[in-house]
Structure 1
Amino acid sequence: MYGLQAISAHNGWAISVVGITIVFTGLVLLSLSIAQLHKILDLWENRHNLGSLKERLLKKNQPEKILSFTEQQKESAKQFKLLARTMDDSFALPKLLRLAEVSGLNAPHSSLALLLESGIIKSEESGFFTWDREMFMKIVQ
C-alpha cells in the first residue's frame, strides 16, 4: 500500500495535523517572546534599580492609613492648626513647637508627632513643612 491510502490507514492525517499545530504554536511563542524581549533587556540593564522599584510598588499597593484621634488629640490638632495659620504656608517644625510650648499646649511633642504620622503636617523638599487641610478635615472633623 502506497500513497494517500497508506497515509489514511496509519493515521497519517492526524499525525500531520498534530505536527503542524506544534510547529505553529512554537512559532507563535517565539514571536511573542521576541516581541517582549525589550522589556527583559530593560530589566537586565536596570537591575540595580530593581530594589527601589519593589519599594515603590509596595508603597503604591498599601492603602492609605487613616488614624483615629481621641477628643483630646482632636482639640490639640485644632490648636496646632491655629498656630500654623499664624505662620507662613511653609513653616519650620521647631518654630511651631516653640509656639505650642509658649501657648501652653498639653504634650506638644507627642501631638506634633501624631500630626506628622497622620499626614496632616507634610514635609516639603526644602526642609519646611505644610499643613494639609484636606487630611485635617478628613481626620479631625
Structure 2
Amino acid sequence: MSGTPFRQWAQPALLVLALAGGPATAQGSLATEPRTVSWYADHPRERAQVQLACFDDPGRLGRDPDCVNAQQASVEVALREARSRTGTMDPNDPAFWSNDPQTRQGKLIMCRRTPSLDHCEAAKRSLLIEAGKIQR
C-alpha cells in the first residue's frame, strides 16, 4: 500500500533512527519523537548525518521535523561559536562553512547545480567532517 499515512510517517522515522545509531535512545526506549534543536546542537555527528540524508532527499525529507531541527541546531551552534571568537576565515577551509551552516546549505544547493563554483569542495567537506565520514 504505497503512500499510506503509516508508510509516509515510518520511512523518515526509521531513517532518523538508523542515522542516530539504531532504534534505542540513551534511555533504551524507542525514539518515536523527533529530536530537538538542543539535542542536535549537543550531538554534532548525528546532526550532520541527518543533514546529509536530508540534503540527499529533500523532496521526501525536506520538511521532516528532524531535518528542520538538525539544520536549525547547526545555526545555533554556529552562533554560539561566533560569539566566542571574532575574525574572518578562509572559504577554502571547511571550518569556514561549519561556522555558517545556512550559507553552507545555500552553497551546496548552488554547487549541486553548478559544480564548478568556487569553494564547493570545502563546503561539502565541512559537512562530511561533521558527519564523521572523513577526517579533517
Band of TM-score, shorter chain: under 0.3
If each structure's helix is expressed as a fraction of its own residues, which one has the higher value? 1
User: If you compute each CA radius of gyration, which structure gives the higher value, 1 or 2?
Assistant: 1
- Indicate the structure with greater strand content: 1
TM-score normalised per structure 2:
0.23
